[in-house]
Structure 1
Amino acid sequence: MATDYGQGYTHMDRPDFRGTDVEERRPHRLPVGLRAPVEARTWREFGYTMLSLPIGITSFVFAVTMLSLGVGLLITFIGIPVLAAGLAGCRGIGALERTRARGLLGLDVAAPEPLRPKGGGPMAYMGAVLKSGASWRHVLYSLLMLPWSVFSFTVAIVFWAYGWLMLTYPLWFWLFPMYGGQDGIQLYGGDDGHRIYLDNPFEIGITAATGLLVTLATPWILRALTTVDRVLVYGLLGPSRLATRVVELESDRGVVVDTAAADLRRIERDLHDGAQARLVALAMDLGLAKEKLAEDPEAAARMVDEAHGEVKVALQELRDLARGIHPAVLTDRGLDAALSALAARCTVPVQVEVDLTSRPAAAIEGIAYFTVSELLQNISKHSGARNAGVDVWRAENRLMLQVTDNGTGGADVSAGSGLAGLAERLDAVDGILVVDSPQGGPTTVTAELPWRQP
């Protein structure tokens, strides 16, 4: 859904593979490179890597066993339930992995699309499991996890162990001469005259310095390794892009239906309370005038004159209502003229610049027009601005709108204001609304719409 992204924004919400920690958002005196080895995030990522190996072995053995057994038994009826049970078990492993990734990596991945059996009973469920693409993606994850977990476990344990062992070598090297019968760690061992030990202060210091470098590098190696895990979990254990898009379109369709219903209710209310009420009163006045025409012509003439004025007011209300549905100037002359007409009616001086060499589809033009209209109304009512500006241009296949003012600022999409409804309307057509409105101003609202040829 479109929302307020601040200075930078992106159309599609994607997971942050870097992860976030509360301690990372707090100010620190130590640089990130020095504190990384002792941060909670590093230890959680190390724990995730250590757990991946036993879980990877278990999931690989389960997947291979159930698939092999199920495929081998397909010549009999037993193979189908065995294969379905294997897929269902892999989906359970996927649920465990999503929970583990959420707790240790800070990666929140939604569950895949649920199974939709056609009918009831075990046969319908088995058919849904076998036909589900998410089930087979879980199987693929179970197969890929073992080789990757072996590699990541080996790299992580080697760097972690050797880094800390060498870094703390000055604290425990005395164990070798006291209990091991040698002067220190042996680097080279030949005959009695060609043995090299790390036993003097210089060599001990070099060992500790090397361990420090390895220890400082280990968190970044862990982050690189767990980035691959994040990609695997997000790509194979979450909902497919198609299913996500379907859910998004269903939500957008609901927004469009609600918006259309709200517009119809507004039109009905405006007609009932405005033009219709005036026309009813006009009909009654003309009826009274007709009755008085014979006995009091002068009074009847005054009543007809008043009715004539009411007709003019009713016609103006109908014109305003028609302009609110779809202005004729927009259809005839495009956004430039229509937005200039809007700016002329605004209570704040507005400078309009439209740089378009062609016109988009009528529906996109209408949405752009009413977006600017609502933003200018907000400026008139709430901003306290002295002047405003409207810029419209095309950027590749997108129609860009930007409305600025030098008012008091403080506009917020998340506050439940009209901006939130406007953002939902834009999102229904794959649009985006971005609001940059610090306290004290100025305010810049940028809208992005798809460019569709008429």
Structure 2
Amino acid sequence: MTERLFSDDGDGDRLPPPRFAYDRATWKEIAHLLANLPVSLVGFVYVVTVLLTGGVLALTVIGFPMLAGGLLGARQLGRLERARARKLLGVRIEEPSPLPRRSGFMPWLWMTLKDPVGWRTVLYEFIRLPWGVLTFTVTLISLFVLWPVLPFLARGLTSADRAMVRALLSPSDELERRIAELESDRGVVVDTAAADLRRIERDLHDGAQARLVNLAMGLGLAKEKLIEDPDAAATMVAEAHGEVKLALQELRDLARGIHPAVLTDRGLDAALSSVATRCTVPVKVTVDLVARPAAAIEGIAYFTVSELLQNISKHSGARAASVEVWRSADRLLVQVEDDGRGGARLADGTGMKGLADRLGAVDGLFALDSPVGGPTVVTAELPWRDRTEDQGAGSPP
């Protein structure tokens, strides 16, 4: 006895070669149908317990946290069901995106309670019990009574199983995955902005502010000595003048770290050339752009190159480096290369990892190729937005 089986790779109009009815795939389907009852019973009891317990205790402090924990458990049930369908039914389904990390209990609680993956798994387990009873009964009876037609019954019943798994246990669509990515990226942007603010505050407090305090004290002493000891007062004023120059230089450096004036006025070519002069190794800069990108994209490209050149100065041991910037279709590409010792990695806690996270937060890409012994090549890719669109939105020209 043979039969034809529709392909399970999404190409519904293509038929594979005929196969024997009682082959290995058929026995897997029969095993899946017989396992439906105990598996669906466990899932049904779990979700009913979670819903009842969370609902009853919703007015107490522990109600919503228990419900959130139950939804996380439902996610694990869904993972096990996808694994069972993959092994016994040949259904290949991508795992849903993990929940983004959140700092703080309340943000985590709210995000978990509105998790669509967890709620779809709850629905799946809730409706599976009657289906599990039906499929188990029909399959068990057919094993002893309807043996000749059992392969066809198994095929029809497992087709419904496949449909339920795809409908309720698959990632809902690309939008869900994209939302999860954007929520995670938003956290990266917020953390990066907070770190930048702390850095600016620290630089002001330890640098220019401290110098200005010393300057005020020095000028106060010079004022007191102006009449009784003009020479000492003149010396103090000269020292204060030196402090003013240093404070101004520190403020300029700080402003350059926030957003350099040369980038705003003259664009990436001039700004990157200026950064290259501060690198400890010779850097060749090539910028091939007919027009300037939006200010935000231009700023990200500038600071990416700036940090990469700092890494080259501090860690690479290179003798030469190069920076290339060009546009390809709707993407801005930046490539930084050095002939140093190599061995750079995108490990957690490194500057490279931070750059990759920042680029990912704006739909960018970060590629690192750094074999031991060098050379190191970093390619950054950013979405291109025209500067006129950015100006229309009220950004700096």
| Both proteins in one fold, TM over 0.5 | yes
State the alpha-carbon separation in 2 of the partners of residues 378 and 55 from structure 1. Answer: 56
Q: Runs of 5+ in structure 2 lacking a partner? A: 1-8, 10-22, 41-74, 100-112, 136-160, 391-397
Q: Check whether the contact 1:398–1:449 (CA below 8 A) recurs between aligned residues.
A: yes
Q: Aligned match of 2:171 in 236, 239, 257?
A: 239
Relative to structure 1, the CA distance from residue 296 to residue 94 in structure 2 (aligned partners, 3 Å threshold; closer, same or farther) is: closer
State the alpha-carbon separation in 1 of the partners of residues 338 and 183 from structure 2. Answer: 35
Task: Please give the residue correspondences for 1:170-319 in structure 2 after superposition, counting only pairs within 5 Å.
Answer: 237-240=169-172, 241-319=174-252
Q: Deviation of residue 360 (structure 1)?
A: 1.1
Report the counterpart of residue 416 of structure 1 in structure 2. 349
Report the counterpart of residue 349 of structure 1 in structure 2. 282
1:219-270 alpha-carbon deviations (Å, 9 max, x no partner): xxxxxxxxxx999967863222222111111111110000000000000000
Q: Check whether the contact 1:391–1:402 (CA below 8 A) recurs between aligned residues.
A: yes
State the alpha-carbon separation in 2 of the partners of residues 299 and 417 from structure 1. Answer: 50
Relative to structure 1, the CA distance from residue 51 to residue 341 in structure 2 (aligned partners, 3 Å threshold; closer, same or farther) is: same
Q: Deviation of residue 97 (structure 1)?
A: 3.6
State the alpha-carbon separation in 1 of the partners of residues 256 and 32 from structure 2. Answer: 64
Q: Aligned match of 1:100 in 84, 102, 108?
A: 84
| 1:448 maps to 2:381 | yes
State the alpha-carbon separation in 1 of the partners of residues 212 and 97 from structure 2. Answer: 57
Q: Check whether the contact 1:384–1:408 (CA below 8 A) recurs between aligned residues.
A: yes
State the alpha-carbon separation in 1 of the partners of residues 225 and 239 from structure 2. Answer: 14
State the alpha-carbon separation in 1 of the partners of residues 231 and 97 from structure 2. Answer: 80
The DSSP-based 3-state class of the residue aligned with 2:293 is coil
| 1:328 maps to 2:261 | yes
Report the counterpart of residue 51 of structure 1 in structure 2. 28
Relative to structure 1, the CA distance from residue 298 to residue 110 in structure 2 (aligned partners, 3 Å threshold; closer, same or farther) is: same
Q: Check whether the contact 2:121–2:169 (CA below 8 A) recurs between aligned residues.
A: no
Relative to structure 1, the CA distance from residue 440 to residue 92 in structure 2 (aligned partners, 3 Å threshold; closer, same or farther) is: closer
Q: Aligned match of 1:364 in 297, 320, 323?
A: 297
What percentage of aligned pairs have identical amino acids?
66
Q: Check whether the contact 2:289–2:327 (CA below 8 A) recurs between aligned residues.
A: yes
Report the counterpart of residue 110 of structure 1 in structure 2. 95
Report the counterpart of residue 403 of structure 1 in structure 2. 336
Relative to structure 1, the CA distance from residue 278 to residue 95 in structure 2 (aligned partners, 3 Å threshold; closer, same or farther) is: closer
Report the counterpart of residue 53 of structure 2 in structure 1. none
State the alpha-carbon separation in 2 of the partners of residues 132 and 305 from structure 1. Answer: 74
State the one-letter code of the partner of 1:337: A
Q: Deviation of residue 338 (structure 1)?
A: 0.5
Relative to structure 1, the CA distance from residue 95 to residue 275 in structure 2 (aligned partners, 3 Å threshold; closer, same or farther) is: closer
Report the counterpart of residue 120 of structure 1 in structure 2. none
The DSSP-based 3-state class of the residue aligned with 2:347 is helix
Q: Deviation of residue 99 (structure 1)?
A: 2.1
State the alpha-carbon separation in 1 of the partners of residues 272 and 300 from structure 2. Answer: 12
State the one-letter code of the partner of 2:95: A
Q: Deviation of residue 415 (structure 1)?
A: 5.2
Relative to structure 1, the CA distance from residue 132 to residue 336 in structure 2 (aligned partners, 3 Å threshold; closer, same or farther) is: same
Q: Deviation of residue 305 (structure 1)?
A: 1.0
Q: CA RMSD in A?
A: 4.0
State the alpha-carbon separation in 1 of the partners of residues 356 and 349 from structure 2. Answer: 11
State the one-letter code of the partner of 1:52: E
State the alpha-carbon separation in 2 of the partners of residues 53 and 384 from structure 1. Answer: 64
Q: Deviation of residue 291 (structure 1)?
A: 0.4
Q: Runs of 5+ in structure 1 lacking a partner? A: 1-16, 18-45, 64-90, 115-124, 147-228
State the alpha-carbon separation in 1 of the partners of residues 268 and 212 from structure 2. Answer: 33
Q: Which has the higher contact order (CA 8 A, sep 6+)?
A: 1
State the one-letter code of the partner of 1:294: I
For normalisation by structure 1, the TM-score amounts to 0.55
State the one-letter code of the partner of 1:239: P
Q: Deviation of residue 111 (structure 1)?
A: 4.7
Relative to structure 1, the CA distance from residue 249 to residue 93 in structure 2 (aligned partners, 3 Å threshold; closer, same or farther) is: closer
Task: Please give the residue correspondences for 1:30-49 in structure 2 after superposition, counting only pairs within 5 Å.
Answer: none
State the one-letter code of the partner of 1:305: A
The DSSP-based 3-state class of the residue aligned with 1:449 is strand
Relative to structure 1, the CA distance from residue 297 to residue 94 in structure 2 (aligned partners, 3 Å threshold; closer, same or farther) is: closer
For normalisation by structure 2, the TM-score amounts to 0.63
Q: Deviation of residue 419 (structure 1)?
A: 0.4
Q: Deviation of residue 49 (structure 1)?
A: 6.7
Greater Rg by CA: 1
Q: Check whether the contact 1:255–1:428 (CA below 8 A) recurs between aligned residues.
A: yes
Q: Check whether the contact 1:112–1:238 (CA below 8 A) recurs between aligned residues.
A: no
1:195-242 alpha-carbon deviations (Å, 9 max, x no partner): xxxxxxxxxxxxxxxxxxxxxxxxxxxxxxxxxx99996786322222
Q: Check whether the contact 2:287–2:325 (CA below 8 A) recurs between aligned residues.
A: yes
The DSSP-based 3-state class of the residue aligned with 1:351 is strand
